[in-house]
A and B are shown apart, each in its own frame.
Chain A
Amino acid sequence: MSRPRTYRPGMRGWWQRHPAYRRYLLREGTSLFLGGYALWLVAGLLCLAAGEAAYGQWRALQGTPWLFGLHLAALMAACYHAVTWLRLLPLTVPVIRLGGRRPSDRALIRGSWGVSVALSAALWLYLGGGWP
């Protein structure tokens, strides 16, 4: 006997079917900018190792409108990534116990934002030459 023929919509253009699907693609799309930025940093490290002239050229390129705009886009992508990533932490991290008790989801997310602020401040101090 043949299988009854049922309607199967297929997966073509699935992201057009719901706003949540588009947000999902937007979230995954942030990785393009994060990866591109990381590659740009690798290029900067290579130029730094190659010498002062090469590093100067890399720095000069940073100031061109195209790369400045790309960095602005990467900044927005990183912020969207941070919001979505930290919001999902209660689902993605293993069970954490503090003093025998599980912190609430809210406390976990707030704590992770606190870590973000502390690490970012330390990074800025370090890169700015103010610390240690």
Chain B
Amino acid sequence: MRRSHEPLLWLLFGAGGLLAAWLGPALILFTGILVPIAAERGVTLLGYEAARGLLQGPAGLAAVAVVTLLLFHAAHRIHHTLHDLGLPAGRRTRLGCYGAAVAGGALAAAAVLAL
């Protein structure tokens, strides 16, 4: 019998889901809501130098891991929900979903390495 990739994909999906549940709200609230509100009031949060400093060493690796797992979580759910909605979800959508996650993770890793 051919082995399925599903357990591995589920593991990545599950890890991403748990991380999203634990850190997602705080992360989005900080980077997406607080940073622009503070900027409007003339307070710079996550400025250029600060952000570069924060992503040095293991923290950069952690950032890449968080982003990649979030992408895998979304890719897995989107692919399976397409199937649930009765849309043709097959090899092509799988390639598109997981491929985008892999590409996004690789770009994030390249960016952090280039800092």
Interfacial residues, chain A to chain B (CB-CB below 8 A)? 11-12, 15, 25, 28-29, 31-32, 34-39, 41-42, 44-46, 48-49, 52, 55-56, 59, 62-63, 67-68, 70-72, 74-75, 78-79, 81-82, 85-86, 92, 112, 115-116, 119-120, 123-124, 126-129
Contact = CB atoms under 8 A, between A and B. Distances in A.
Contacts of B36: 62-63, 68
Contacts of B1: none
B28 A74 contact: yes
A78 B46 CA distance: 21
Nearest to A24: B84
Interface in B1-48: 14, 17-18, 20-33, 35-36, 39-40, 45-46, 48
Interface string B56-89: 0001000100010011011111101100111000
A78 B28 contact: yes
Interface residues of B, number: 53
In terms of DSSP, what is the predominant structure of the interface of chain B? Answer: helix
In terms of DSSP, what is the predominant structure of the interface of chain A? Answer: helix
Contacts of A41: 31, 67, 108
Contacts of B84: 25, 28
5 contacts: A45-B111, A75-B32, A82-B22, A85-B21, A119-B23
